[in-house]
Amino acid sequence: MNFGSTPGWPVVLGDGPVLLRPYRRSDAAAWSEVRRANQAWLAPWESSPPGRWDELNSPVAFRYVYKDQRRQARRGEGMPFAVCLSESGRERLVGHLNLGNIVRRAFCSAYVGYWVDARVAGRGIVPTALALVVDHAFGPGGLHRVEVNIRPENGPSRRVVEKLGFREEAYHPRYMHIDGAWRDHIGYAMTSEDLTAEGGLLARWHRLRTAAS
Ligand SMILES: CC(C)(COP(=O)(O)OP(=O)(O)OC[C@H]1O[C@@H](n2cnc3c(N)ncnc32)[C@H](O)[C@@H]1OP(=O)(O)O)[C@@H](O)C(=O)NCCC(=O)NCCS
C-alpha cells in the first residue's frame, strides 16, 4: 500500500479494548451493518447527501467511502480510523474517527469527526479514541491544533470533549449542512501546549477515569 509521505500515517493505535486502525477493503460488510443499524442514532449529526440511507451505507457504497478515505490519507489531508473493539480475542468494527482537513505550514491543524455504534455507547470508547488520536496528532503526526465542532443539541458529543478538557472557543451560526439544514456549531479546540504538563491526553483521560471510579 502506498500512503505517500503523510507524517504519522498509516498507524494502529490502541488502549485496552479500543483499537484504531486504517480501514480495509474487507470492512465493507461490517461497516454497512453498523451504519444501517444506526440510522436513527447517526442521521441527526451527519451531512445528508441525496439518496436513501440503506443505499448510501451499503457494502457497495463502502467501496467509494474507502477510496475517498485512502485518497485523503494519500494526499496528507486526513487520517481516517476504523474504531474497533477487541474483546475475547475478537475484533469488531464499532465506529469511526477521522482526523480530517489537515492543513500544515503555519497552521498545522486538523478537525475531528466521530461516531460509535449505539449498542456500545456510554463505555468511553470515543473519548479513548479521541485521546489516542490527539496524542498521535501532536506527536508523530506533527500537528499543533485539533478542533471539534459540535451541534449545541448534541449533549453526548459535548460531554466527550468537555470531559477531555477541550476549550470551548467559538459559536458558529449556520456552520455546516447537517441532517438537511445549515446548523449552528460550537467550536472546541486543543493545542499541544495544553498537554505539556499532562503527559498527553490519554494519560489525562486515564487519571479522570480513575478519579471517577
Ligand atoms: C457522541 C458519541 C460519539 C459519544 O461516544 P461514547 O463512546 O458513547 O462516549 P462516552 O461513553 O464518553 O459517552 C458520552 C456521553 O454520552 C451519554 N451517554 C452515555 N450512554 C449513553 C447511551 N447509551 N445513549 C446515549 N447517550 C449516552 C452520556 O451523557 C455520556 O457522558 P458521561 O459519561 O459524562 O455520562 C456517541 O454518542 C455517538 O456516536 N453519537 C451519535 C453520532 C454523533 O453524535 N457524533 C458526533 C457528532 S459531533
Q: Tens of pLDDT along 23-74? A: 999 999 999 999 999 999 999 999 988 889 999 999 999 999 999 999 999 9
Atom nearest to 163 CA in ligand 1: 34
- Report the alpha-carbon distance of residue 123 to residue 127 in Å, rounded: 9
What is the CB neighbour count within 10 angstroms for residue 14? 14
Q: Whose Cα sits closest to atom 20 in ligand 1? A: 122
| Cα–ligand 1 centroid distance for 147 (angstroms) | 18
Residue closest to 134 by CA, chosen among 39, 5, 15, 1: 15
- Please say if the pLDDT value at position 4 is more than 60: no
Reading the block at residue 156, the C-alpha cell is 453526548
Decide whether any atom of ligand 1 lies within 6 Å of the 41 Cβ: yes
Q: In this predicted model, what pLDDT tens digit does every residue of 103-157 receive, in sequence order?
A: 999 999 999 999 999 999 999 999 999 999 999 999 999 999 999 999 999 999 9
Q: How far is CA 176 from CA 46, 142, 163, in A?
A: 9, 27, 24
Which DSSP symbol is given to 97? Answer: E
Q: Is 123 in the pocket of ligand 1 (CB under 6 A)?
A: yes
Q: What 3-state class would DSSP assign to 160?
A: helix
Res 12 pLDDT > 50: yes
- The answer, yes or no, to whether residue 2 has pLDDT greater than 50, is no
**pTM, rounded to two decimals:** 0.97
- Tell me which of 187 and 50 has the higher pLDDT: 187
Instruction: Provide CATH code, domain 13-212.
Output: 3.40.630.30
Nearest to 140 by CA among 20, 8, 4, 22: 8
Q: Which pLDDT score is estimated for 3? A: 47
Task: Evaluate: CB of 124 within 6 angstroms of ligand 1.
Answer: yes
Going from the Cα of 89 to the center of ligand 1, the distance in angstroms, rounded, reads 25
Q: In degrees rounded to 5, what are phi and psi of residue 110?
A: -155, 160
In short, whether 122's Cβ falls inside 6 Å of ligand 1 is: yes
Using the mean position of ligand 1's atoms as its centre, give its distance from the Cα of residue 68 in Å: 27
What value, to the nearest 5°, has the Cα angle with vertex 106 and ends 101 and 110? 20
Q: Report the residue among 123, 157, 179 best suited for mutation to probe ligand 1: largest number of ligand atoms under 8 A from its CB.
A: 157
Helix (H, G, I), strand (E, B) or coil at 49: coil
* 3-state helix, strand and coil shares in percent for the chain, rounded to the nearest 5: 40, 30, 30
Q: Is the CB of 98 under 6 A from ligand 1?
A: no
- The pLDDT, as a whole number, for residue 49 is 85
Q: What is residue 177's predicted lDDT score, i.e. its pLDDT? A: 96
